[in-house]
Chains A and B, each alone.
Chain A
Amino acid sequence: MKADVSQAALPDLARIVDANRRTDLIMAGIGISVLIVAMSLLAAVVIDLIVGGWPRLINPDFYLNFPSRHPLQAGILTAWVGTILVMFVTACIAIPLGVGAGVYLEEYAARNWITDFIEINVSNLAGVPSIIYGLLALGLFIHGFGLGETILTAGLVLALLILPVIIVATREAIRGIPLDLREAAYGLGADKWQTVRLYVLPAARPGILTGTIVGLARAIGEAAPVITIGALTFIAFLPPSPLQAHPPFINFEWLESPFTIMPIQMFNWVSRPQAEFHINAAAAGVILMLMTLAMNGVAIWLRYRLRRQVR
């Protein structure tokens, strides 16, 4: 073909250009069709769930009933309450730990082998399968520390699971803060911690927030590590309320309570043979998807706004 070009007259060149255009079109076509296939899968999942779960979705009892042996009376009350409580514990543990580690690695860490080791470790943790975290919880939190199959254990294991996500997001957000800002703060006499606390962290907050929401959205949908700690049981009661009428007005008994969460409730219903339970599973799936999609949506929107501000 190269020989052709060097010897050829103009009409041949035009043919080559045409052929090139055609390959370009074909390649773009392949790319777009992959995209369409992926998007139709997403659409198929959403439509399949909504159609499958519709009879239960429109029934208010579904949201307010306890699980039951009778598919038509079973509801997701314990599951969504459990999800909210577990997520609260997860956020309380994962955010300070993750943001702290991210700040340390970006602002404080010296370039030495310890830092290198921590970095490799974080990136490896991000790839450890979620079920291995479940084994960690089963062996250490339950049989080692005796925490039991409680909300605290579940919150803790999900927090460890999303720790790498929050660390990476924090680091990226901090890396995006211009050096000038730090220099200006130092110039005013601030020391390192003041600079970080008063200038760097507030400037990085939107990015950190985005990463945190993405991490929590991932935790909401995770079933595997929580199944492993043995949470797949029939729970027909709510954890004790965190608020009470007499002083000190809040209590922490709910941390010790058995629980179930949305993805586990859904898994429970999918794995039953009766088709009626599959309707419940689909309906629970819709609610679960709404939860995660809403959180991801917020994160994407936040990032989009952030980018426009930077430009």
Chain B
Amino acid sequence: MPTSPSLSNPPSTAGSPIRASEGFLRRRALWGSLAGGILFVAAAASVFVTLGIVYVLITESTGFFAQVSLLDFLTDTQWTPVFENARFGVMTLVSATVTVAGIALAVSIPAGLALAMYLSEYARGEVRETVKPFLELLEGVPTVVYGYFTLLFFTPLLQTFIPGLEGFNMLGPGIVMGIMILPYTASVSEDAMRAVPSGLREAGYALGYSRFRVAMRVVVPAAFSGITAAFILGMSRAVGETMVVAIAAGQNPNFSFNPTEGAATITAYIVQMAMGDLPHDSIAYQSVFAAGIVLFIITLTFNLIGFFLRRRYKEVY
């Protein structure tokens, strides 16, 4: 093509085929690859967030693990970071974390399963479409609000039934958290149930199964990996939830699985330490990151299991 004056728009020459000038094409290709590059950088940024998290957790806690042996860290049952004779048994915090998350799951599994089964197998389309936005609103309430509610409304309410319940306890936050993650667990398991091909259901009906039997014997087994994923991801949320426990479960490290007692979870401990102004090189400051590593590993494990389980049911159907 002969060199023509570079035009930003292809010249409209009536009669002859329209041709874009070389300069225009070159510039377009340049912009195109530039845009592709920038978009790739944006996608790669998410990887750097993960790398950043891992880097910070490791570097900020190396000083900690130089002073506290891993064995003590994992087996001691005292957590007294600011005492003269500081002890760092992370199981103290883990026990509370597990207790609260366990209560949340005990609420969320049966309720979430029933709700998902109802929405996927029983409810008509309009009912489902009306209900889901409300569930999303439940999920949209800030957790600090749930914390207020748990401390000042729900715990006093529970105390009228359970006389020995402390003002700060693990039961109230556990139950509230169970309902809080309900929209999530229910909607992920409902997705899994709805992904079951209707042919399987029809086969069940053709055998004379009732709806309940189809749900229990056909849909739930077929959607099992997805439903499991829902609760594993729910567990991960409960473990990482912060404000409800920081406000209502107390901030006293306490090696206990008794739900009527108050105890600091990993997240509550991090909040408590962050509120005080800790010197950067103190072991108490570094202990925050050591606790953070434990939290990160627990949730990462759950998230990865959940991710692959969900991917599996998506591949099967």
Contact = CB atoms under 8 A, between A and B. Distances in A.
A23 interface: yes
A31 B193 CA distance: 15
A288 B145 contact: yes
A124 B271 contact: no
B59 A105 contact: no
Contacts of A49: 145, 148-149
Given A192-B32, A221-B141, A136 B56 contact: yes
Contact of A143 (B40, B280, B300): B280
Interface stretch (A66-74, A84-92, A222-230, A244-252): A222-230
A32 interface: yes
Contact of A292 (B115, B133, B141): B141
**Interface size class, chain A:** 35 or more
B194 interface: no
Interface stretch (B63-71, B72-80, B218-226, B240-248): B240-248
Interface stretch (A55-63, A160-168, A235-243): A160-168
**Interface size class, chain B:** 35 or more
A139 interface: yes
Interface string B116-142: 011100110000000101111110111
Contact of A139 (B50, B56, B131, B296): B56
B43 interface: yes
Given A24-B212, A224-B271, A292-B142, A125 B29 contact: no
Interface of A: 5, 20-21, 23-24, 27-28, 30-32, 34-35, 37-39, 41-42, 44-45, 48-49, 52, 96-101, 103-105, 108-109, 117-118, 120-125, 127-136, 138-140, 143-144, 160, 163-164, 167, 189, 191-194, 196-197, 214, 217-218, 220-224, 227-230, 232, 263, 266-267, 270-271, 278, 281-282, 285, 288-289, 292-293, 295-297, 300, 304
30 contacts: A21-B210, A24-B210, A24-B212, A27-B118, A30-B114, A31-B119, A39-B134, A44-B153, A45-B141, A45-B146, A101-B45, A118-B46, A118-B47, A127-B236, A127-B303, A128-B240, A128-B300, A132-B296, A135-B53, A143-B60, A220-B142, A223-B142, A227-B271, A230-B274, A270-B148, A278-B152, A285-B144, A285-B148, A289-B142, A297-B137
Interface of B: 20, 28-29, 31-32, 35-36, 38-47, 49-50, 52-53, 55-57, 59-60, 111, 114-115, 117-119, 122-123, 131, 133-138, 140-149, 151-153, 176, 179, 182-183, 208, 210-213, 215, 233, 236-237, 239-243, 246-247, 267, 270-271, 274-275, 277, 280, 288-289, 292, 295-296, 299-300, 302-304, 306-307
